[in-house]
Amino acid sequence: MRTRFLLGCLAAVLAVHAADFPRTAVGKPDLSGFWNIPYTPNMAKELGDLPYTPAGKAAFDKVGSAYDPTGFCLYPGVPRIVNSPFPMEIVQTPDRVAFLYEYMTTFRSINTEGRAHSKNPEPTFFGESVGRWDGDAFVVDTIGLNDRTWLDTAGHQHSEALHVIERYQMADANHIQLDITVDDPKMYTKPWNNHRVLERLKPGEHLLEYSCDENNLDRDRGHLRPGSSIVPTAP
């Protein structure tokens, strides 16, 4: 009797937990909506020293004399797009999840039908992403990234060998736990992780227009020229 009672209580708890967030018609967690991305300028802040390779340490040590690629309106890439302090919208269908970013008005459309990676994808800023469901977690696996971006504002570097795994899991109706794994054997001796929580925007809030090229003082006034002070340019 006691065992049946405990099992009944457990089932009730699980049922309540399952109702804590919306689900689609096929039973998957419904990630759709507008979400705030917490600004994460330094992915290693809570980790201490990262497991650099000699090449990775040398690359990071040179950041102080380099310039931030996004100042020239280059796409931030993955994972930096989800480190930025701008919201995003998630649009979910049975075979695809799309991330629509306010930052630079960019997007990623990710297949969820079990498609495998290409053998040798051409390196790009956002790489090649494939998605899958692992229970209630949506897992995004990305390769094929070029080396023209930083991982974060702090300037942690990566190579074209970078492999990023994002794991999105709803904690409740208004929060998504996001875990990011960075794996780049050329820059780091082992994979390392970062965690943050996305929060649903308030009703009525939505994405705004973002134009990186308009009034770009970092570029046009020389802010990003290594070793230079502000140099106004002719109108």
Amino acid at 208: L
Helix H or strand E segment including 217: helix 217-220
Return mean pLDDT, the chain.
88
Q: What is the per-residue pLDDT across 138-194, written as a single tens digit (0 to 9) for each? A: 999 999 999 999 999 999 999 999 999 999 999 999 999 999 999 999 999 999 999
Do 141 and 130 touch, CB atoms closer than 8 A? yes
Report whether pLDDT(71) > 90: no
Report whether pLDDT(230) > 60: no
Report whether pLDDT(48) > 70: yes
- What pLDDT sits at residue 19? 53
- What pLDDT sits at residue 222? 67
Report whether pLDDT(90) > 90: yes
Please report how many Cα atoms fall inside a 13 Å half-sphere around the Cα of residue 129, on the Cβ side.
24
- What pLDDT sits at residue 64? 81
CA distance 207 to 197: 19
Structural domains of the chain, with CATH: 22-220 (2.40.128.20)
Do 28 and 133 touch, CB atoms closer than 8 A? yes
In which region does residue 131 sit, left (phi positive, over 0), alpha (psi from -120 to 50) or beta (all else)? Answer: beta
**Cβ-Cβ contacts under 8 Å for 170 (sequence gap 6 or more):** 20, 21, 29, 31, 136, 176, 177
What whole-number percentage of the chain has pLDDT above 70? 83
Do 127 and 79 touch, CB atoms closer than 8 A? no
